[in-house]
Amino acid sequence: MDRVLVQALGCIVVLALFQMALIVAGLIVGRERISFGSLDAILFNLVVIELTLALGFLLLGKG
């Protein structure tokens, strides 16, 4: 059970880091096209990523 939990959290962390990389790449490539609406969406995604990583580390610490 613990091994499955660690593997699941590892997948969540990898997906969160991948999403963060996509956001950064989008910022670099589409620098001129960013509007305030898309900036709000990017900030929201970053908050979700941070919360996901924090939850993952908390669960790993308990295990």
pLDDT tens digits, residue range 3-43? 777 777 777 778 778 777 777 777 777 665 555 567 777 77
Which structural domain, as residue segments, surrounds residue 25? 2-62
Total length of the chain: 63
Q: Would the pTM count as exceeding 0.95?
A: no
The reported pLDDT for the residue numbered 34 is 56
State the alpha helices, DSSP H only, in the chain: 2-29, 36-62
Contact by Cβ (8 Å): 19, 42: no
The reported pLDDT for the residue numbered 63 is 53
Domain count, the chain: 1
The reported pLDDT for the residue numbered 60 is 74
The reported pLDDT for the residue numbered 44 is 80
